[in-house]
Amino acid sequence: MHQSRIWTVLLASTLAFARVLYAEDIYVDDPHSYADPRTFRTKHLALDLTADFSRKQLVGHAELHLERVDPAARELVLDTRDLTIRGVELVGRVNRPLKFKLDPPDAILGSALRIAVPRGATTFVVRVKYETSPDASGLQWLEPAQTAGGKHPFLYSQSQAIHARSWIPLQDTPAIRLTYEARIRTPPELLAVMSARNEIDAVRDGDYTFRMPQPIPSYLIALGVGDLEFKAIGPRTGVYAEPSVLAAAAHEFAHTEAMLATCEKLFGPYQWERYDLLILPPSFMWGGMENPRLTFLTPTVIAGDRSLVSLIAHELAHSWSGNLVTNANWNSVWLNEGFTVYLERRIIEALYGSDRRAMEDVLGLQSLRADIAALEARGDASLTRLRVDLRGRDPDDGFSDVPYEKGRLFLGFLESRLGRERLDAFLQDYFTRFAFQSVTTDTFLEYLWEHIAQDPGIVLTKAEIEEWIDQPGIPSSAVLPRSDAFERVDAQRRAWLDGSITAAELDSARWTTHEWLHFLGNLPETITTEQLRELDAAFDLTGVKNAIVARSWLKNAIRAGYAPASPRLEQYLTSIGRRSLVKGLYEELLKTPEGARRAREIYAKARPLYQIPLRQQLDELIYKPGE
Ligand code: BES
Ligand code: ZN
């Protein structure tokens, strides 16, 4: 490199970091919200909603308790999507109607609701009367047939990232935190639960009240309604599920209380009183969602052998990274997810040992590498940075393993430089200092630098950190995980592939889910139907129940055109709606014309099961224009 060019590069990165050193306003720049927190800020929300299952609508009102930050401000802007606004009032002894205007919708952001607010008090309450659309992106209305029990309908919400606005008119940015209360009316035979204080022994009468006393960002407001029962796991933990799922769920997640204790030892006190789980029907497009006090979960993690509980560790860890200290906007989502994956792995290590942790780290890295390659291939290499620019994009599209696994590698890198003890102390300080606040990447970097700069003997440069945050790919300073157990699996796989042993002779009797995932996830692309038939005969992989192992098997089956797995593939795709399990299978099918036909055939049957945002994504994938 030419000398002057080197200086330019050095100077540029120093300047980029200099900006980092000055605190900036978390309220300035959320590209995914029309709300302007520099004029008004919501402090509290009171909901009064009726769940009308026959019309698939929530009907009622939201009262926003607002603070006027700019005395000159006259227009309150709220985020909405597909809401019908029935009226807006200023709440007082006598409510006064307020003028409002709903902007035409933007495909990603929805419609700004502009409310004319009279001058006056610095705190006031606005009531918005509204109803939701049956296609609200943040609500899923399920028919009885789509539930485990088959007799009652089900409703759940999914607000992250920007879907809260499709069921509540509000300032839908994680820069703002609010407390909330709610009154939810349902058919009397159903139970409603929320990301709030839930009464374990609530009388089932169709009229439920909730209070969330800690300030949270809007994406953590959540509601579930169904034929739900509760079973305690420990003093602070328990499960809500449909009756037929309850016992299996309570058994699967029996270690939740121990995980909570481990977390408190590692990261500081748990601030949310209780930690309960809500098991959703299989339509749920996520593995889990860290709704405070009440994680929402896919039933696909109920494997029978607790092999997939890292998902609980993950959602529980969000009680610190994410829910306590929150990314101020979605460009900094790695602050939520990267920290959480690191915390998750520490919990797994503490409870199940370093071998299991190493396997989960390696599987994470493999998945990260595949995602980076895919992002590069589609010209989205900028999304392989930790700090991203999602302006003009749907935050659901910017979603990949990068904020998760690259974020976790960055924390591993910090651990290698600071030492585990120092990093743990730093993390506890960070969670205490920013508890119940929202932070940007810059705020985090500034805090990190202030803290460690005082430490003698730590070798860490700003240029290294800058590379992690703002450069694509995996930096060379990454500490890459390795697993002895997986190396033994590799040796077995090689021996089988080169013909020195048969499939039945694979030394797999003691393989756990993780080893199977590593084995199946790393079969060569050239694997043949004959080889798959041999494996299937030895291990009945087409019949395997574990949803993650099954996915990996089915991916190989599609690749090789292994016909005996075809009915299982259809059954799988028409019974599971979890995005990370099904999307890759459709993508694999779409690689050949014959597969594409099969994909369309299966998708036509499966589509009604899938959650609305997933339908939109798969519609685009499967029904490409011109086909
Ligand atoms: N908060 C996420 C789920 C999410 C992310 C919803 C972005 C909407 C937008 C949750 O904590 C999560 O990360 N779930 C993962 C599981 C985890 C073990 C990697 C998932 O659902 O795959
Ligand atoms: Zn997460």
Ligand 1 atom nearest residue 219's Cα? 8
Task: Looking at 319-457, list the stretches that DSSP marks H as alpha helix, in order from N- to C-terminal side.
Answer: 333-352, 354-377, 401, 407-418, 420-433, 441-453
Establish whether residue 401 lines the binding site of ligand 1, counting it when its CB lies within 6 angstroms of any ligand atom.
no
Sign of the Cα pseudo-torsion (81, 83, 85, 89, in order): negative
Give yes or no: 22 in active site.
no
Counting ligands in written order, the one closest to the CA of 399 is 1
Q: Which residues, given as ranges, of the chain have pLDDT below 70?
A: 1-24, 625-627
Angstrom CA distances, 559 to 52, 163, 195, 523, 527, stand at 45, 35, 41, 11, 8
- pLDDT at 130 (0 to 100): 99
In this structure, what token pair is assigned to residue 390?
Answer: 């999602």
Q: Sheet of 275-279: strands edge to edge?
A: 229-232, 237-241, 275-279, 294-297, 288-289
Q: Is 301 helix (H, G, I), strand (E, B) or coil?
A: helix
The residue whose CB lies within 8 Å of the most ligand 1 atoms, and thus the one to mutate among 156, 286, 361, 548, is: 286
Amino acid code (one letter) for 572: Y
Q: How far is the CA of 627 from the centre of ligand 1 (A)?
A: 32
Establish whether residue 286 lines the binding site of ligand 1, counting it when its CB lies within 6 angstroms of any ligand atom.
yes
Q: How far is the CA of 286 from the centre of ligand 1 (A)?
A: 6
Establish whether residue 57 lines the binding site of ligand 1, counting it when its CB lies within 6 angstroms of any ligand atom.
no
Establish whether residue 580 lines the binding site of ligand 1, counting it when its CB lies within 6 angstroms of any ligand atom.
yes
- pLDDT at 625 (0 to 100): 55
State if pTM tops 0.75: yes
Whether the ω angle into residue 261 lies within 30 degrees of 0, i.e. cis, is no
- pLDDT at 191 (0 to 100): 98
Give yes or no: 180 in active site.
no
Q: Which residue has the tokens 């609010």?
A: 178
Q: Which helix (H) or strand (E) holds 93?
A: none
| Radius of gyration of the chain from its Cα atoms, rounded to whole angstroms | 25
Q: How far is the CA of 539 from the centre of ligand 1 (A)?
A: 31
Which residue's C-alpha comes closest to atom 2 of ligand 1? 289
- pLDDT at 200 (0 to 100): 85
Are 166 and 132 within 8 A, CB to CB? Answer: yes
In this structure, what token pair is assigned to residue 36?
Answer: 């302007």
Q: Which residue has the tokens 């779409």?
A: 590
- pLDDT at 29 (0 to 100): 78
Establish whether residue 288 lines the binding site of ligand 1, counting it when its CB lies within 6 angstroms of any ligand atom.
yes
In this structure, what token pair is assigned to residue 515?
Answer: 């080893």
Q: Which residue has the tokens 């055109």?
A: 561
- Please identify which of the residues 131, 252, 290, 315 carries the catalytic annotation: 315
Q: How far is the CA of 166 from the centre of ligand 1 (A)?
A: 19
In this structure, what token pair is assigned to residue 522?
Answer: 């790393």
First to last CA, the chain: 48
Rounded to whole angstroms, the maximal C-alpha distance in the chain is 85
Counting ligands in written order, the one closest to the CA of 581 is 1
Tell me how far the alpha carbon of residue 138 is from its chain's centroid: 14
Q: Which helix (H) or strand (E) holds 453?
A: helix 441-453
Counting ligands in written order, the one closest to the CA of 313 is 1
The residue whose CB lies within 8 Å of the most ligand 1 atoms, and thus the one to mutate among 195, 289, 582, is: 289
- Which domains can be identified in the chain, with CATH numbers? 33-133+159-214 (2.60.40.1730), 327-470 (1.10.390.10), 484-622 (1.25.40.320)
| Inter-helix orientation angle 420-433/441-453, to 10° | 130
Ligand 1 atom nearest residue 311's Cα? 18
Can you tell me the distance from the alpha carbon of 204 to that of 413, in angstroms, rounded to the nearest whole number? 50
Ligand 1 atom nearest residue 318's Cα? 11
- pLDDT at 399 (0 to 100): 85
Can you tell me the distance from the alpha carbon of 208 to that of 602, in angstroms, rounded to the nearest whole number? 40
For β-strands 100-102 and 57-68, DSSP reports them as unpaired
- pLDDT at 25 (0 to 100): 72
Q: Which residue has the tokens 């994909």?
A: 599
> Ligand 2 being an ion, which residues bring their Cβ within 5 A of it?
337, 340
**Which string of DSSP letters, residue by residue, matches 143-155?**
-GGGSSSSSS-EE
- pLDDT at 453 (0 to 100): 76
Can you tell me the distance from the alpha carbon of 25 to that of 328, in angstroms, rounded to the nearest whole number? 10
Which residue's C-alpha comes closest to atom 20 of ligand 1? 287
Q: How far is the CA of 160 from the centre of ligand 1 (A)?
A: 9
Establish whether residue 290 lines the binding site of ligand 1, counting it when its CB lies within 6 angstroms of any ligand atom.
yes
Ligand 1 atom nearest residue 344's Cα? 18
Phi, psi at 614, each rounded to 5°:
-70, -40
Q: How far is the CA of 176 from the centre of ligand 1 (A)?
A: 21
Nearest Cα neighbor of 293 from 200, 201, 205, 204 is: 200
Ligand 1 atom nearest residue 395's Cα? 9
Q: Work out the angle at residue 58's Cα, subtended by the Cα atoms of residues 53 and 59, and round it to the nearest 5 degrees.
A: 115
Establish whether residue 363 lines the binding site of ligand 1, counting it when its CB lies within 6 angstroms of any ligand atom.
no
Q: Which neighbouring-strand residues pair with 217?
A: 177
Q: How far is the CA of 611 from the centre of ligand 1 (A)?
A: 15
